[in-house]
Amino acid sequence: MFQMYVSAPTDGIVLPNPVIGDSRRMDTNAINRVARGGEHKSFKDADWPNNEFITWDWALLTAAEIDDLTTFFTTNAGVQIHIIDHNGDEWVGVLLIDILDIRVNRDECSYSTTLDFIGVKV
């Protein structure tokens, strides 16, 4: 079960688990510089958050699930959201997409989509 909500889980939507193979990139928020002598220097403050960029893919969504996702997306675009992913991890962050790309599979019998997210694990 994959859950997205703004303030309380009852205000959000529930989707089936995404397709296996979601991608994750870590941003450690470090400043990296190369000194004149070629020496590599890196600075990171312990108070800076470690953001993760995550891409989730779904296939075989129903029309009702796509309608719920579209409504949630248009209502909460640019707002900080909470996600409880299929691994049970809770995330706080924002969606990085400006247009929800919905692909139609099998003569409108199922749909697929992709969500890009940046956030921190709670």
Contact assessment for residue 27 and residue 21, using Cβ atoms and an 8 Å cutoff: no
**How many CB atoms neighbour CB 32 within 10 A?**
10
Q: Which residue has the higher pLDDT, 108 or 116?
A: 116
Q: Which domain holds residue 25?
A: 2-121
Does residue 6 carry a pLDDT above 90? yes
Distance of CA 119 to the CA centre of its chain: 7
Supply 38's token pair. Answer: 């070629």
- pLDDT at residue 58 in the model: 93
Give the strand pairing for 102-105 and 81-84: unpaired
Range 38-56 average pLDDT: 86
* DSSP per position, 34-92: E-TTS-EEEE--TTS--EEEEEEEEEEE-HHHHHHHHHHHHHSTTS-EEEE-TTS-EEE
Residue 122 and residue 42: Cα distance in Å, rounded? 26
- The predicted structure's pLDDT at residue 23: 77
- In total, how many domains does the chain have? 1
| pLDDT of res. 20 | 78
> What value does the mean pLDDT take over residues 29-34?
84
Mean pLDDT of 58-69: 93
Residue 10 reports pLDDT greater than 90: no
Predicted pLDDT at 47: 82
